[in-house]
Structure 1
């Protein structure tokens, strides 16, 4: 019997690419999104069910799960992919945008997880994949809200894994670094800016110059992310974390290998070199 995976946020980016990848490997796919009526690329594949799911709408979550089970018989894996990245100075991010970031990235992910677990427990099997980020392990400037949401995903997933392993359910965390997709187009469009915060002008200028210098570097692709998700679902292990991205690997290694303050100082020297050098010279 073909296995079936449910993927949230499948209208673009990792979600759409992963839907195609699993379908090409012989899986049934429940590709969910908020506006399935706009989807034209996935709906022609008989192994892909395109249906509505809004992670903040529990009725739509239950409906999507039921529709998938009705069409394919069972669900073997869930990929919690729906999310977005709020960028900008913390003081510039409106409180309602902070709430939205957590409603989607954290509470929405929990909503879908809670809804699928009775089905997994009944079958005494299942794999839960939560899409986190390298920013859930290593922070950078102007990502405080997004990083906070992904740190929450990491902590939730790591703790939940203890509970679900008792039910033969695997929990996986996939941590992409920077991958050029429409995710970053939305992040750029929704970048939080407040012209009144002039005290940050120098800092903002330095950060803009720093991040522009990273353009054109070695980055993973959406296809590599999809392949890693497939590995996480099919490798048969209880491995918790899967990191993707050549620019992120040395930063995670630094975090794992150094005492905390040494790691913090290393990142400050990397992301705020001028300020760090001035501080060191003044000591």
Structure 2
């Protein structure tokens, strides 16, 4: 029986991934910042604290998981949040916190598990990014920057750890509106500093995101969890997995069309002018 450790399991993709891996017969270590608030997971799931901003909690969760199950075969780096707001209105603290959680926290978990996987010459690291790590949208420049960073980090890391039998995978969901992902984004955005010139753009930006939610989401946490499982179990050399069909056209345009054609399409879709 294989074992997976998943971060950010309080709701959304993380919660769905716990249930999907458990249904497939995996031993699951479900981690979250507040274990006392954990959903009711299937019997046998190990629930423990892991805060990606707390290195001691990362080490403790990994050690506890190995002690209980003997080994960890896969890690799903799912924990994260998206800060919404115009870049110039963001504070220094908001900028740093977005990267502390989405980038440095993910890196901390990855670095903590690598010695264990390297010693076993086996393992898989699945990093959950976003369509926002493939194409940039207004109102999420900090979130997009953090997810672009994870994409680059993961691709580079893949080459470094393949000689040890360790696979790195990227799962790229779109904006699944049935998750609670936006709750923390709204809370974090409260500290922004309004700039008068941007005031007329706020409603236009909100309209853009409503249109994206209606036309580009078309996915559920369960569907994303299925792709996460696929990524963790795929023995091929594949790196990236688009997890919601609603963003595939944009991802394809970004990666396969000319720069001019891609930018023209995106300006038509999300321009604030």
TM-score by length of structure 2 reads 0.94
Q: Does the CA-based 8 Å contact 2:9-2:38 persist in structure 1? A: no
Determine the C-alpha separation between the residues in 2 that align with 1:272 and 1:13. Answer: 29
Q: Which residue of 2 aligns with 1:68?
A: 65
Aligned pairs for 1:70-219 (under 5 A) are 70-180=67-177, 181-191=179-189, 196-217=194-215, 219=218
Matched, 1:49 2:46: yes
Q: Does the CA-based 8 Å contact 1:92-1:193 persist in structure 2? A: no
Q: Which residue of 1 aligns with 2:260?
A: 261
Q: Which residue of 2 aligns with 1:28?
A: 27
Determine the C-alpha separation between the residues in 2 that align with 1:86 and 1:161. Answer: 28
Q: Which runs of 5+ in 1 are unaligned?
A: 276-283
DSSP 3-state at the match of 1:96: helix
Count of matched residue pairs: 271
With 159-168 and 255-264 compared, the bigger mean Cα shift is at: 255-264
* 1:167-202 Cα distance to aligned partner (Å, 9 max, x none): 110000000001120002322343357574121122
TM-score by length of structure 1 reads 0.91
CA pair 191-67 structure 1, distance change in 2 beyond 3 A: same
Q: Does the CA-based 8 Å contact 1:92-1:192 persist in structure 2? A: no
Q: Which runs of 5+ in 2 are unaligned?
A: none
* 1:133-169 Cα distance to aligned partner (Å, 9 max, x none): 0100011111100000000000000000001111110
Q: Does the CA-based 8 Å contact 1:55-1:61 persist in structure 2? A: yes
Q: Does the CA-based 8 Å contact 1:130-1:157 persist in structure 2? A: yes
CA pair 196-121 structure 1, distance change in 2 beyond 3 A: closer
With 167-176 and 259-268 compared, the bigger mean Cα shift is at: 259-268
Shift of 1:40: 4.7
Aligned alpha-carbon RMSD (Å): 1.6
Q: Does the CA-based 8 Å contact 1:88-1:193 persist in structure 2? A: no
CA pair 185-196 structure 1, distance change in 2 beyond 3 A: closer
